[in-house]
Structure 1
Amino acid sequence: MAITLSDTAARHVQKSLVKRGKGIGLRLGVKTSGCSGLAYSMEFADEAGPEDISFESHGLTLLVDAKSLPFIDGTELDFVREGLNEGFKFNNPNSKAECGCGESFAV
């Protein structure tokens, strides 16, 4: 089981944490939402909770709750720029389908 960051995502997260002034990394998960059934959730993490599973990538901590892990295990979080748009992209090997807007997925 592993969740990782690409080099680009790690640099972006590190810059954001420095700008924010605190934090150990990111908390990732999934929630029921969207037209495909599941949506990713992501927020800065200041500390690990008792039920968090911790992964280390590029010196940053990635925290995932046990219920979300089966849906995102093996995922690499990337940060991409496409034209004027930029944002995080979940490269999830478990995803079987994504909605047209890219906001939700199915396994």
Structure 2
Amino acid sequence: MTMTDKAADRVREIVATRENANGIRLGIKKGGCAGMEYTIELVTEPNAKDDHVERDGAHVYVAPEAALFLLGTEMDFEQTTLR
């Protein structure tokens, strides 16, 4: 997984709002119409089994069970208004 500059900026913004957080963790759980839902949580202590993606000080940890679902993807951030 890779991360764009916009995504890295947003991860740093989110992490800065929480004391002791040093990144976010992406995971999956069963549910949704396609069978899986993505989860995002703040990380205070990284799990040694997680994959680690870093860009300009933005840290994203990928849970082992989510790695195959995110392989080859690019994380981006876009803010839109409701239409």
Structure 2 CA distance, aligned partners of 1:55 and 1:61?
6
Cross-structure match for 1:14: 12
Q: Is the 8 A contact 1:5 1:58 kept in 2?
A: no
More RCO (CA 8 Å, sep 6+): 2
What is the deviation of 1:72? 0.8
**Match of residue 55 from structure 1:** 53
Q: Which runs of 4+ in 1 moved over 6 A?
A: none
Count of equivalent residues: 83
Residue identity over aligned pairs, in percent, reads 34
Q: Which runs of 5+ in 2 are unaligned?
A: none
Query: Which residue number corresponds to residue 23 of structure 1?
Result: 21
**Which structure dedicates a bigger proportion of its chain to strand?**
1
Deviations 1:32-52 (A, max 9, x none): 110111111111111111322
Mapping 1:1-107, distance limit 5 Å: 3-84=1-82
- Relative to the length of structure 2, the TM-score reads 0.81
Q: Which has the higher helix share?
A: 2
RMSD: 1.8
Question: Gapped runs of 5+ residues in structure 1?
Answer: 86-107
